[in-house]
């Protein structure tokens, strides 16, 4: 694919989620792009009717592209628990109800884990998934997937991050994502091997393939 350049114009983050917009802005900062968002453009959220992260990411990216004509980058992400057969997965935000109350969502997860007998770390395995979709003029789309594995802890720890971060302990770490600053979760710069967070891992692939950054 042709590599994007800052002079190509603004990049629109196809989201109304302040946490996602913030994280993608932070990841894009070194590359000199002007960033706007669906929220700033006053766009409506499209109905997410897909059955995979890729399908829902594409729905959002194409909706923003169609509405504005701008190159659009969407994110569809969530957390999957082995003991819950992959739930909540693509429905992660919806487990927080119409207000996207993630404190409630985490309580719901914990109740279901307890009901499933997932009371020891080996039974509380979880995977955070993020899929970025880049939509280009003409409707061409490209996907970039990142995953990070870890364990669900209870009670949640930390007030940083957003979503399920406070109950997710990534493998090899002593702190949850909720106890890490976003810059630490995204501690990747061109030339480094692997970032820590799922979104940053997806972004690494995006930066390589769409921006031409090694």
Q: How do residues 79-94 score in pLDDT, each as one tens digit?
A: 999 999 999 999 999 9
Q: Which CATH fold would you assign to the domain 6-210?
A: Maf protein (3.90.950)
Q: What is the pLDDT of residues 102-151, one digit of tens each?
A: 999 999 999 999 999 999 999 999 999 999 999 999 999 999 999 999 99
Pairing between strand 140-152 and 125-136?
antiparallel
Contact 157, 150 (CB under 8 A): no
- Please identify every residue annotated as catalytic: 76
Q: What is the pTM of this model?
A: 0.93
Query: Mapping DSSP to helix (H, G, I), strand (E, B) and coil, where does residue 58 land?
Result: helix
Q: What is the pLDDT of residues 2-21, one digit of tens each?
A: 899 999 999 999 999 988 89
């Amino acid at each position: 694919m042709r590599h994007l350049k800052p002079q190509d114009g603004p990049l629109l983050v196809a989201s109304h989620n302040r946490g996602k917009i913030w994280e993608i802005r932070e990841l894009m900062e070194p590359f000199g792009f002007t960033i706007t968002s669906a929220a700033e453009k006053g766009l409506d959220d499209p109905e997410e009717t897909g059955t995979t992260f890729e399908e829902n990411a594409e729905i959002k990216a194409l909706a923003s592209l169609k509405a504005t004509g701008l190159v659009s980058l969407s994110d569809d992400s969530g957390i999957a628990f082995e003991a819950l057969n992959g739930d909540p997965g693509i429905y992660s935000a919806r487990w927080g109800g119409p207000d996207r109350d993630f404190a409630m969502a985490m309580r719901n997860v914990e109740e279901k884990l307890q009901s499933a007998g997932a009371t020891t770390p080996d039974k509380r395995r979880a995977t955070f998934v993020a899929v970025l979709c880049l939509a280009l003029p003409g409707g061409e789309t490209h996907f970039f997937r990142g995953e990070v594995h870890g364990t669900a802890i209870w009670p949640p720890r930390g007030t940083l991050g957003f979503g399920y971060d406070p109950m997710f302990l990534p493998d090899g770490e002593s702190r949850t994502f909720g106890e890490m600053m976003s810059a630490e979760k995204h501690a990747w710069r061109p030339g480094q091997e692997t970032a820590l967070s799922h979104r940053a891992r997806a972004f690494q692939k995006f930066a390589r393939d769409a921006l031409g950054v090694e």
